């Protein structure tokens, strides 16, 4: 049995992580930690877990927790994980960080976009970006896995085959994405109150959203050249889900068969990417670890429109984190993650 600790267990991503792990018969939950609720039962905070996960929440003392844990999930806001993780810890344990601290490969880029100091820059190079469809081989041998963001997962996977196979003009990419309110986390914010969000749609983080350099980093690696995108996220009055609509100009001479071959070459056999004949909708993936991807070519303008949909708390956070754990510890990659959308 693999012993698992979750630090930040009572946030939306953390609680979804506990939910998935509680169904995993290859692991044992060794510690659930929450600074805000230490000393209280997890099922007291989330009564839906009553008689299923009644563990008492602990303070997040990572050194003590590491003594009897094989893997530590960090479901924390940015800026915290880099102060907790050390090279000594990583010699013996696997750390999967659901936050942003180890996703970006350049310290200065991280500090510029996140407006905070990176506390362990010497570890950045050893971190593997935890997108299994792209980095599976490296994930298998890594002790520090940077779980991707939700917007980034959805957008990168929708565009990756087009850049890997050189089918689009990389300077023309526009990503228009929508997210449910849970993507903003469980913390109290006036802008996320029901009366502020209901019956409204708004753009935010225009030309400044922190997921932008993460998307550009991975798309640049796929293209073999620097990629710059226009990324605009929107908040939708729903609980969960992300839809990314991605636009780009096709290169001259590219045919639809070339596009179809590229997507199949990248994703045939991938357990959690579905190349859908239907235009993706968030309800088709709600409660699952799938990303549904489809595309349409506008022959009139020469553009391709690639669309991806995920559940932001699962494939965009907790589910992908468990997928990474499964890979790192030799489990079936689908373990505890199979299922169809909640109707």
Catalytic residues: 150
Instruction: Identify which of 296, 301, 299, 253 has the alpha carbon closest to the alpha carbon of residue 277.
Output: 296
Q: How far apart are CA 65 and CA 247, in angstroms?
A: 45
Q: How far apart are CA 168 and CA 58, in angstroms?
A: 50
Q: How far apart are CA 71 and CA 36, in angstroms?
A: 22
Would strands 94-97 and 71-74 be described as parallel, antiparallel, or unpaired?
parallel
Handedness of CA 125, 129, 132, 134 (dihedral sign): negative
Percent helix / strand / coil, the chain, rounded to 5: 35, 20, 45
**CA atoms lying within 13 Å on the CB side of residue 289:** 24
Containing 128, the helix (H) or strand (E) segment is strand 128-129
DSSP assignments along 66-110, one per residue: HTT-SEEEE---TTTHHHH--HHHHHH-EEEE-SSTTT-S-HHHH
Burial class (CB in 10 A: 0-12, 13-18, 19+), 158: buried
Q: How far apart are CA 328 and CA 26, in angstroms?
A: 13
Q: At what angle do helices 150-164 and 256-267 cross, to 10 degrees?
A: 120
């Amino acid at each position: 049995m693999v012993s698992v600790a979750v630090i930040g267990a009572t946030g939306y991503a953390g609680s979804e992580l506990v939910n998935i792990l509680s169904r995993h018969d290859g692991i044992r939950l060794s510690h659930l930690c929450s600074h805000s609720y230490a000393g209280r039962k997890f099922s007291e905070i989330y009564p839906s877990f009553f008689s299923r996960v009644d563990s008492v929440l602990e303070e997040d003392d990572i050194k003590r927790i590491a003594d009897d844990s094989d893997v530590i999930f960090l479901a924390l806001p940015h800026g915290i994980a880099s102060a907790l993780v050390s090279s000594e810890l990583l010699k013996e344990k696997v750390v999967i960080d659901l936050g942003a601290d180890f996703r970006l490969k350049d310290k200065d880029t991280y500090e510029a976009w996140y407006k905070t100091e990176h506390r362990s820059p010497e570890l950045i190079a050893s971190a593997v970006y935890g997108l299994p469809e792209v980095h599976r081989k490296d994930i298998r041998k890594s002790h520090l896995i940077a779980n991707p963001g939700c917007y980034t997962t959805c957008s990168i996977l929708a565009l990756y085959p087009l850049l890997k196979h050189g089918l689009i003009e990389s300077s023309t990419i526009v990503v228009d994405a929508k997210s449910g309110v849970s993507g903003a986390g469980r913390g109290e914010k006036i802008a996320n109150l029901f009366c502020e969000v209901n019956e409204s749609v708004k753009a935010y983080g225009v030309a400044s959203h922190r997921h932008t350099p993460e998307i550009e980093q991975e798309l640049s690696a796929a293209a073999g050249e620097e990629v710059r995108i226009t990324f605009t996220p929107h908040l939708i009055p729903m609980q969960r889900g992300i839809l990314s609509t991605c636009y780009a100009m096709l290169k001259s001479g590219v045919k639809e068969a070339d596009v179809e071959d590229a997507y199949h070459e990248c994703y045939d056999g991938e357990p959690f990417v579905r190349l859908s004949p239907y235009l993706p909708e968030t309800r088709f993936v709600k409660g699952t670890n799938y990303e549904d991807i489809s595309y349409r070519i506008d022959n009139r303008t020469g553009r391709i429109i690639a669309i991806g949909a995920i559940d932001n708390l699962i494939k965009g956070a907790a589910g992908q984190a468990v997928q990474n754990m499964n890979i790192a510890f030799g489990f079936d990659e689908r373990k505890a993650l199979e299922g169809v959308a909640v109707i």
